[in-house]
Amino acid sequence: AKPKLTNFGKFSLTIDSIKPVGEGSIKKGFELLKAKLDKEGLFALDRKRSLPELPKTVGVIASMQSAGYGDFMKIADQRWGGVTFRVYHTLVQGLDAPDALIKAIRYFNQLEVPLDALVIIRGGGSADDLGAFNDELLVREIAASRTPTLVGVGHEVDVTLSDLAADVRAATPSNAAQLLLPDKQEILSRIRYMSARLSPRMLRLVAQRAEYTTTLLRGAQDMITVQFERTARRFEYARQLVESYNPDHILRRGYALVRGEKVLGSIIEVEAHNYKLTAEVRTYEQK
């Protein structure tokens, strides 16, 4: 506006433009930016990634003096152990907060060994306190993160554009810990339950297998016995056949074994079962 003061003490303004300010203006800017980024696909469900079931190394971006950070770490420790948390302390509100948060995200994404997950948390506050998480550049940085992101900002009713751009949104920092890590007590209870159900089944299965194995062994033994008896019978038949050709057995049946030439006047030897004799060939005839 252009001010004007007359000689008579009157003051006036010539308005060049009007711009709304206050809560209404902030909300309108939020909706316009939300529509813009949504149209670009930054909030699309098909681009969101799942968090690993059991992360080993997790990056945490937060103010370490905040209650939200303390709640997150406490619940994370209660739910699961053995996780390495790499914490980046940073501003989470104010004019400089968006740039500080972007710097933290880039730090983790440039690590040589990638993280399993990247968590960005902040406790509750007013709309102005959470305003940094509606910064366009910050929202784009979260959407472009190479590491799966989990954002838990404010209370359950608070929804920032950073929440929408993240792979997973948590209602609160405490809820972020619950979404990130499984509950070890719940898993132990599940294991006990499954073990109790499986034990009788395993015993029945072992018993069934043992019975089946016993049946197979008995069948194999029967087959071996039959085969052995068959072989023994064949062997006995062969033995008897060989014995039947033994000259002693033939002689026992009254036959005699004659050795010599069938020439008149020659001496021959006659062997019977229980004696031997010699004789002279005086006659012979052809049969």
Tens-digit pLDDT profile for residues 28-49:
889 999 999 999 999 999 999 9
Q: Residue 163 sits in a domain of what CATH number?
A: 3.40.50.2300
Per-residue pLDDT reduced to its tens digit, 66-87? 999 999 999 999 999 889 999 9
| CA separation for the pair 189, 193 (Å, rounded) | 6
Total of domains in the chain: 3
Structure confidence at residue 260 (pLDDT): 84
Beta bridge partners of 119: 60, 150
From start to end of the chain, where are the E strands? 2-5, 11-14, 57-62, 84-89, 117-122, 149-153, 168-170, 257-259, 267-271, 276-280
14 within domain boundaries: no
196: containing domain: 184-245
34 within domain boundaries: no
| CA separation for the pair 94, 125 (Å, rounded) | 12
Q: Do 156 and 83 belong together in one domain?
A: yes
Q: Do 96 and 73 belong together in one domain?
A: yes
- Mean pLDDT across 111-139: 93
Measure CA of the first residue to CA of the last residue in the chain; give whole Å: 160
- Indicate if the pLDDT at residue 22 is higher than 80: no
Q: Do 107 and 217 belong together in one domain?
A: no
Q: Do 239 and 205 belong together in one domain?
A: yes
Which three-class secondary structure state does DSSP give residue 278? strand
Measured in residues, the chain has a length of 287
| CA separation for the pair 134, 216 (Å, rounded) | 73
5 within domain boundaries: no
Average pLDDT over the chain reads 88
Low-confidence winner among 21-25, 193-197, 234-238 (lowest mean pLDDT): 21-25
Per-residue pLDDT reduced to its tens digit, 84-116? 999 999 999 999 999 999 999 999 999 999 999
199 within domain boundaries: yes
